[in-house]
Each structure stands twice: as C-alpha cells, then as structure tokens.
A and B are shown apart, each in its own frame.
Chain A
C-alpha cells in the first residue's frame, strides 16, 4: 500500500507532518506543543493541565462561548490532553472544514485570552479531576506507578496535587504559557482529506510568523522507584508493575514490541492464558509498552479480589520472566501477524494516523510507512526477541498496589 506523506519544517521550529488518506472525507489534526508536565514549574505541578483547559476559554477576540460555538458550528470535535513532553490538542472534522478549524486553533495557540475571570474555573476542573481519581483506583495506580518509574518529573501525574494547584495564579500561569506555548519544537500532524499545498499555505499564513524561544526544561532527578502500597478499602487489589525496556528509537524496538505482544497481545497471549484462562485469577491482566524520548517501560496491570492478589502477583511476575526461556517460533509468528494486521486496521482511522505520525516525528524525526514497519517486524527473529529479553529482563520492578492489604513482594527479588 502506498502512502502519501508530506512534511514542512518552518523557520520558527514548527514542523507540519501530514498523510493523505484516500476515500475518506474526514480529517484529523494533532497539535503537540512542548508544554507537557516536563515543563511544569517545580512547585506548580498541574500547570499544563490547567493551561490546556484555560486555552479554550476564549481566544483571538472570541469569548469562551464564541470560541466553542465557532468550533461546534464546524462539527469539530476537540480534545485537550497533556503528556510528559507535550500539551496536545486533537481535533477531528470533515476535511472541507479543516481550513476554518485551523484558523481558529491558530488563535488558541497564539492569542488565547487567558483572563483572570476564566482562570478559577479552569483550575477548579483540574482540582475535581484530581479528586475523581480517588474513585478510579486502577487509573490512579498506573498514574502513580509512572511517577515512581520515570526520572522526576518526567512521569509526574498531570493533575498535580491540591497544594500545587492552590499555588497557581493567573499571572504565574500566563508567564508559563508565554514560555512554553512556542512553535520551537511544536509538531502539527494532519491526516485524511486535505489539499497539501493549501494546508501548507494555511499553516504558514497563520503560524509561520509566530516566534518564541524554545522552553527550557529543568534537570531531571532519579526516580523514587521501590514498592508502594496504598491502603484502600476497595473491592479489588489493583496491582501495577513496571520494568525498563528500550525506547522507540532503539534498534531493539521491534523486538521489544513483539515481546510485549507475545505477553499481552490478544486473548491467547501468555498473561491472559496463564493468569485468567487457566487459573481464573483475574478479569483483567495486561502489559503495555510505553516510551518517552529517553526512557521506556513495560507497564503491567492486574486487578483481582484481595484473597487472590498474592497468587496473581506471583503468577504474573513468573510469566513476565518465563517468556525469555521458552518463547516459541509459533508465538512470534502470531505476534507478527497481530501487529501487522492492527497496523492496517488502525491505518483506516484518520485520528489514529494523526497520533502515529506525530509520535514518529517526535521520536524518530521522520515518518515510517506501514511497509517499512511491516518489513521491520518481519525481520525480527526468535533469537532477536530472546536476546532482547535477556538484555532487558523482567527485574528491578517498580511496584504500586492499591488495595486493602499489602502483598508479600519477595517474588520480585527471586
């Protein structure tokens, strides 16, 4: 399958990447600004999350309602999120409305109102999100696991804390916005139905003369790591584990991805078969790969009723380790088929592709075609997977559990 990619690097440091997808009438846009939690001032964690919310409360002379109504009238569905590195605006719409949506989003990027009046509710929503996390123990466990796994503050929870949110002020956050809402290092990805020359022209017109210095990220500190138990009278014990692996740009990346698929891709995977199907220990168990630019981990979750938690932990850790010894050619072949099929199927979604090419540009500085990925997947041998697993063993776990009782963690060191 041939893909049509376009890239344009503007002088101000902004990169536009795009993939034309035939036979669709939608288009998707992601705008990734170097304004993620990584850039939150040290005592003001949660800045990025509040800012992402605040940005959509008026821009370019429109008030909150004017801005939202303008996007709504274009059938635009937008969503703001924050990652370690980026503040991300995702927007989907019909391709014919793309130019008008881009013009409005350019206002959000360059001319957000950020007035005092709308600051308090923006912060209050994030404060409520933080509160709501207490009612979602599985999500909270995985968020806090990342915090302890990655060097600080790379894995920091996006909502900050009650104290850090209370420390935010409209003036301080406006200053923060001025330094980190910058084209330098920003990536815009567009997929689906568009005309490249027109798109490039529009982005140049609206954002080409936007200039600001690249934000400076502070030093990182070693992660907290260790074993954490958070006592909660919950129905399940929510067990999470993380161990280190290679990043997206590493030459063992595909081997790592295939190993994760053998462990957790589909219902015949190792973890699903051994922990759920053969032993009935859990409803949900999975391992997923997650990568920042310079650090990556395999993140495992298992949720079970407390009486079965100890056995669940031991069986899960056992499976994460056993795979290096006895992974088979058949399992590898199956994992390859799964990865390649899901690539094609995800390739049909404009929103999924917009995320994928943006991530490619950030991690690799180029766009990978589905053919390139397929070939790279095919080229991985069983020995490659084993060598990778030996080099990056399931050891030195960071563990975090939310549940009624602490678990015996001696199996982590066995």
Chain B
C-alpha cells in the first residue's frame, strides 16, 4: 500500500492509495458541494447537475457517456449529499486511462437545453419515487427540523416546484460558482499506475479554470424540537432522532463512532436489547454522521403507531443511561471489533475503500492507512467516549415522527 499525492497548477489535487495486488482500480472526483451550497431559488440544483454530468460534454453526446462507461465494463455512478457530490467508476486496471479520460471529461458538462428538459422529467420521477419511501421522507423532514436556519436543512432533491422552475442557466451559474478545481479532489484507489494516472488527469483537467469556491461553516446546536408529520396513508410510524455530534474535522470522531455503535448498532447494542429484542420496534439503530464543521447522532426507529411513544421514550432513556452510568468494557471492546471488521471488509474492495480515502482528504487533507485507522480506533478509551457523550449531550434531541400519528 503506497500513498501518493500531487496538485495540478490549477489547484486540482490528486491523491491515490495504490495497492498493486488489487485486481481492479477505482477513481472518483469528490466535489465539495451539495444542497447546503444552494439557495431557495435553485433548490435541488446540485443533484440535478450530478445527473447532467452524464449527459454529454463538448466532445461527447448525451448517450455516448453511458455507452463508453459500459464498453469499459465499468461499475460507475454518482451521488449527491447535503455537502458532497461524488462521481466514481471502478474498472479493471487495463482500462484506467480510458476511464479517467471519460470521468474527467464529464466533469465539464455541456448542459444542453434539450437534455436538460428531458432529465428534468427523470428528476421529478425520482422525487416521486422517494415520496413512496417513508424512511427517506422522514430523514428529509428530520434534517430540515434539526438544522432549521442552517444550510444543512436544505434537502438534496429539492421540491417538484423548485426543480420545475429551474432553468438551464441557473445550473450553469451554480456550476461556475462551485466546480472550481480547487474545490474538487481526484481520488484513486486500488491497482493504479500513478504516473499514467497523473498524466491523464493533467491532460483532461488542467484547462479547468480556478476560482474561489469557499463554503462558510457555521455551527449548529440543533433545534431540539419534537414534530409529528401526519400522513394517514403510511402504515408504520417512522421516527428519527438527531442530536449534535463531533464534526468531520474533530479528533474525537473515533470516539463518536464508538459511542454510536455502543448505543445503536444493528446487533448487540443498547437499542437492540431495549427495542428489537422485545419486538417493540422492528428497526432501531444509531449512526454517527460526520459533517463539515458539525455532526449528528442519527437514530431511526420504525414501530407500530400504537407503540411509537413508548419506543421513543425507551430510546431516550437509553441515551440518558449511557450519559449517567456509562457502559461496560465488554461493550466498548465489541464496538471496536465490529467497526474494525466492517472497515476491513470494505477496505478489501477498491470501490469500498474509495469513499473512506476520499472523505479523509476532503474533510481533513489527511491520508490514513486502514491499519493506522484501526490502531487509532483501538486506542480510544472509555473516558474518551464518555467525553463525547457529555460534551455533545445525547439527550438534546430533535425528534421527527412521520406516519399516521398526530402527535408524539
């Protein structure tokens, strides 16, 4: 395993974790932009733009991009979150150069009007698709509630109205404001020919013009409100709970991850024994979500509506009991072992390692080999974890319930 990095003259940083024994390689452009960088007028543009990146460039037509990826046998896609947009592809090593030629080219999209109009239809369908997924809708409502007044409250997809009203030139302006080479990182993982990787990136991306694309980070303590969004069409009560947590830049993020696992891993956690084991809920899990300049502990619960209040109070009781009475050494060790196993499994596949390596760099300009990461994880003490629990107060929660109930 070898780490390399360089920066092109226009500010595009290129990093790679090279593993000559891997059988494939993966690459991704990580753009530090998402719905938190939007305004009301252009709500949903980050995600819509992500789609348009696959609809052609100055030298490739709308259908050619997908065709070329498929001809390379690539496993490729993109995703947009509140604060990142990532375009990625995995291929066999012999296709590295051809893949990078394509992936680099699409980051400078043509955004042709007719393709824009057609894709708008697809986006509206995607919004409708998520309407039929209450867990997803609940997450959107929860983020909007917890982060109210903060840019992270903005949902990724936008609304049917905002997407319908969006114009091609609005999207171009957003692109010209956010996709500066200095705001994008090219990440490679797996069996990579580094010299060829850099040479191709230079050829494909060095004409990108740099400009300032900063993001102002403002803190957020969370609204702490409880809301029920009533929808009688939904069968179950989908409850989301969020409380503040360390940011992606915070050194205590390992302790936070352990705390999230002890409290709410899908097996053997506090919530598992309190809610799943007695079948009060069929889903109850907590994760630590690290964000740019802030963070959150995020808990999802799905229950019968008649047991929703009970389930919520039990979960909150567990949060309180961790803060008051702590946890056992066995719980901490199990959490460490589970996180280490899962990171190891993910890390054995280049496509799995890509986001870990990419986000370490995007958030902290740091590279950490998996082994070192696991070492750091194992060096976290119970005091470190309790420090996070008390500093961030697990019981200072924003609650959102979506389902048939009128209140919770």
Point out residues on A near B: beta carbons under 8 Å. Answer: 1, 22-26, 57, 64-65, 68-69, 71-78, 92-94, 120-122, 124-125, 128-129, 131-132, 134-138, 233-236, 238, 265-269, 272-273, 276-284, 303-305, 308, 334, 337-342, 344-345, 347-351
Contacts and interface: CB of A to CB of B under 8 A. Distances in A.
B75 interface: yes
6 contacts: A24-B348, A125-B282, A128-B282, A138-B132, A266-B69, A347-B23
A196 to B, nearest CB: 20
B11 interface: no
A22 B279 contact: no
Interface in B111-164: 118-126, 128-129, 131-135
Closest 7 CB pairs of A and B: A341-B73, A280-B121, A75-B337, A235-B131, A128-B282, A75-B341, A121-B279
Residue with the greatest number of chain A CB neighbours at <10 A, chosen from B76, B124, B330, B345: B345
Contacts of A22: 21
A73 B267 contact: no
A97 to B, nearest CB: 8
A75 B67 contact: no
Given A26-B341, A136-B132, A345-B349, 17 more contacts: A26-B344, A72-B338, A124-B279, A125-B282, A128-B281, A132-B283, A233-B233, A267-B66, A267-B70, A273-B63, A280-B121, A337-B72, A338-B73, A341-B72, A345-B90, A348-B24, A349-B349
B304 A71 contact: no
A281 B334 CA distance: 48
A92 B337 CA distance: 12
B277 interface: yes
Nearest to B24: A345
B235 A132 contact: yes
Contacts of B92: 341, 344-345
B395 to A, nearest CB: 25
A125 B278 CA distance: 9
Given A75-B338, A268-B70, A121 B277 contact: yes
Given A72-B334, A121-B278, A281-B121, A26 B129 contact: no
B125 A283 contact: yes
Contacts of A121: 277-279
Contacts of A129: 282
A23 B349 CA distance: 11
Contacts of B279: 120-122, 124-125, 128
A64 B341 contact: no
Nearest to B273: A65
A282 B121 CA distance: 8
A334 B71 CA distance: 5
Contacts of B91: 341
Contacts of A272: 66
A92 B341 contact: yes
B69 A283 contact: no
Given A132-B302, A277-B66, A281-B121, A71 B273 contact: no
